[in-house]
Structure 1
């Protein structure tokens, strides 16, 4: 095997290892979409109608209205920023709380966003889907009763693509008070003794904390991308993503994981790709659009942060 082939193989092994660790408390986060080519094909989100997103989407096509993105659908893209915006708004329908079903739907959108960025940045998307699947299945278990079991190998995200599975998932979130919102989930799991403050478990609260940390990283990254301060050179997405990581997720990762993450940032696409991804023409339009999304992410993050902090859950193992 030649030197180049050996180097390529070594990088691939490193990235696969990175993906396996990211959300397990060591790499808790976002690098699965990066070793997959992104297929720019429209795929309707199977949870949008149930989360209130359909109504929110109807108001997005009026540029200038409060909170409007000024766009509806971006033709030819799997990731739709308007749908992400709608899911984030739906998650905020109850004051001081976060509705779990649209919150998880917004993660579906963010996974598509990460996968759009290429193999390096998307290496962890499957781990994020695993985390959202855990909470979704816990909601189904709560709806079905105590005889239901959590099967780690099952994937509710995939099963929900069928009409029946989709309906069951929606019913679980709409009618199960246990997993209707972040606060209801916390109250339920504490009452049932499901949250362990000493060792790792698959509780919904611990799983939510991992997603919560990841959300801060993405929020900060998008915030930096939207920043137009100064008139000099706009810094590269790779540089901004690295900064966002160092101030957020890096604090929860081992030395090896941090070094591996640094390698992954190198393949981040340039700004022009991000413009095309959300159907804008320049940085000014891009910044205006992202500022709305960042505001939504901040609100969801702040509410979740408050709920976890109140119950001493910001450091669950």
Structure 2
């Protein structure tokens, strides 16, 4: 084997290892029966766009992009559905949002796509926990149960349903797993709460990356996606990773496509249009992130091992 072949093989092995460690000890889709509060309708979200000619706020439909797996309209639809509860996050559309974000990462090439495998494993853990809980009578939360308190101002919506499953939302999952003693604050477990925390950290990384990708600096110089993704990583996930994983991540970001690829991926023609689309996505992600952050913080779960 030549020197170049050995180097390529070494990089591949390194990135495979990165995928297994990406979310600090770990970073499928047909899950319709576990949740009763989310009726998925294929509505196309609309985005606000300011016209430069008259300054009026217009609205344009975010259309499906033909010929590709990742769809921005689908991602935005799931994100908005996940925030249906005030101050809470519905788990099914939340995980469906991750399904679409995985497609986004896989579209960026095999190097970056390796990271998505670990994210898939995390969404699968929560889905499997929900399916097992659905079969258990103890996982059914009565509307008069103290579980109402975990949703705070969502209590009225919880009471509108006779029974709410334990993995219906972020707060109901946290309450259920705490009540059942499934959350361990001293060692790693496959609890839904610990798994959610890893996904939560990765969501901040993607939010910051998309935000940077949407911006047009005052200097007019647009940073390369590789640079922007590296900066987003250094300000988020890097804090939770070892030196070795951080170095391996740098290799993955080198393979990031150029900006023109993202225009095609999101179905826009230029940076201005990219800003409109991604700003809406970033805002929706931010709402989900803030609600999840609040729920985890209230229950002392931001540093679960």
TM-score interval, normalised by the smaller of the two chains? 0.7 to 0.9
User: Scaled by the length of structure 2, what TM-score is found?
Assistant: 0.83
SS in 1 for 2:166: helix
Residue 12 of structure 2 is matched in structure 1 by 12
Paired residue for 1:289, among 277, 286, 295?
A: 277
**Where do residues 33-52 of structure 1 align in structure 2 (5 Å cutoff)?**
51-52=38-39
SS in 1 for 2:65: coil
SS in 2 for 1:124: helix
SS in 2 for 1:54: coil
Residue 204 of structure 1 is matched in structure 2 by 192
With over 3 angstroms needed to count, the CA separation of the structure-2 counterparts of 1:20 and 1:176, relative to structure 1, is same
Question: Does the CA contact (< 8 Å) of 2:183 and 2:193 recur in 1?
Answer: yes
Residue 240 of structure 2 is matched in structure 1 by 252
The number of equivalent residue pairs is: 273
RMSD: 2.5
Does 2:41 correspond to 1:54? yes
Shift of 1:70: 2.7
Distance 1:88 1:74 in 2: 18
User: Scaled by the length of structure 1, what TM-score is found?
Assistant: 0.80
Does 2:73 correspond to 1:82? yes
Question: Does the CA contact (< 8 Å) of 2:226 and 2:255 recur in 1?
Answer: yes
Distance 2:198 2:227 in 1: 24
With over 3 angstroms needed to count, the CA separation of the structure-2 counterparts of 1:244 and 1:272, relative to structure 1, is same
Question: Does the CA contact (< 8 Å) of 2:47 and 2:60 recur in 1?
Answer: yes
Runs (4 or more) in structure 1 with deviation over 3 Å come to 45-48, 50-53, 59-69
Does 2:260 correspond to 1:272? yes
Residue 21 of structure 2 is matched in structure 1 by 21
Residue 3 of structure 2 is matched in structure 1 by 3
Which protein shows a greater Rg? 2
Distance 1:67 1:310 in 2: 39
Shift of 1:56: 3.6
Residue 132 of structure 1 is matched in structure 2 by 123
**Unaligned 5+ residue runs, structure 1?**
30-44, 149-173
Residue 118 of structure 1 is matched in structure 2 by 109
Residue 225 of structure 2 is matched in structure 1 by 237
Distance 1:73 1:286 in 2: 15
SS in 2 for 1:200: coil
